Amino acid sequence: MNLESVSSLPEMLEIWQKTLNWQPTNQQQNQFEKLYQLIIEGNRNFNLTRITEPEEFWEKHLWDSLRGVAPKQHFIDSLHQGASIIDIGTGAGFPGVPISLIFPNCQVTLLDSTLKKINFIETLLNNLSLTNAKTIVGRVEEIGQENQHRHSYDLALIRAVGTASACAEYSLPLVKKGGLAVIYRGNWTEEENQSLENAVKQLGGKVELIEEFTTPLTNSIRHCLYLRKVGNTPVNFPRAVGVPKQKPL
Ligand code: SAM
């Protein structure tokens, strides 16, 4: 692989500090750089992401992935304590891979229904020597009904996989009582609140926080929806493959 031909990621230490009260170590910065180079290289063979310019990659993939697990600008406590995490519809590994790089005590499961993407992530994990992350190929509607995964995770993360109520149905069944599902969104409107509240209630959760923020380089609006698991999810959820999307709760 020719790593010389691609430009480098910016460090942005002041912005990390200002927005997340945190900065990457030199080693973490090197890992970010390696991740970037591997994704750019992988993109030549597979159509993984449209976000390839260094600053855009930094903002939309690295910063955005970590900002989602830092509501009110502080990382969620269970991340420091070694949480079990699932990233649903991880694609090229976002938000799960940056989180597993920064929190080596966490166990991160990266789930996607596309074998080609999961194969790519396997090479990524090997190249980055990331031993705290593993992959699964499958549909979340089926994984969410398996005993091994259901009610098993402290944190379920989901970015760009569907409507908020479909994402709630995909994520909450996988979360332990007391754990959190985090839905990463671009826009969010008041009208969407009601259907989300309704879906979350049926799934054994409650809407704990909806946070709006702007990204630090392009000032784009983002939202993260934090859903707390307060009860058990009834056995009929998630519904069969395709149903959460076609007939949202
Ligand atoms: N989360 C990544 C990100 O934000 O960059 C990728 C988002 S991509 C638009 C959506 C991904 O979700 C795709 O890789 C797709 O294969 C996966 N996906 C969609 N529906 C799924 C399902 N029901 N179960 C598992 N993965 C799914």
Task: Tell me the mean pLDDT in the region 201-212.
Answer: 97
For 155-196, write each residue's pLDDT tens digit.
Answer: 999 999 999 999 999 999 999 999 999 999 999 998 899 999
Angle between helices 115-127 and 26-45 in degrees, nearest 10: 140
pLDDT above 80 for 242: yes
pTM, entire model: 0.96
Average pLDDT for the chain: 95
Domain range annotation of the chain: 74-246
Nearest in space to 155 (alpha carbons), one of 142, 143, 172: 172
For 127-150, write each residue's pLDDT tens digit.
Answer: 999 999 999 999 999 999 999 999
Count how many residues are written for the chain: 249
Burial of 159 (0-12, 13-18, 19+ CB in 10 A): buried
- Dist. CA 211 → ligand 1 center (Å): 22
Among 113, 119, 163, the mutation site with the greatest number of ligand 1 atoms within 8 A of its Cβ is 113
Which architecture, in CATH terms, is 74-246? 3-Layer(aba) Sandwich (3.40)
For 3-44, write each residue's pLDDT tens digit.
Answer: 445 579 999 999 999 999 999 999 999 999 999 999 999 988
Verify whether ligand 1 is closer than 6 Å to residue 86 (CB atom): no
What pLDDT, on the 0 to 100 scale, is given for residue 232? 96
Verify whether ligand 1 is closer than 6 Å to residue 112 (CB atom): yes
Q: Give the other-Cβ count within 10 Å of 47's Cβ.
A: 11
- Distance of alpha carbon 105 from alpha carbon 82, whole angstroms: 4
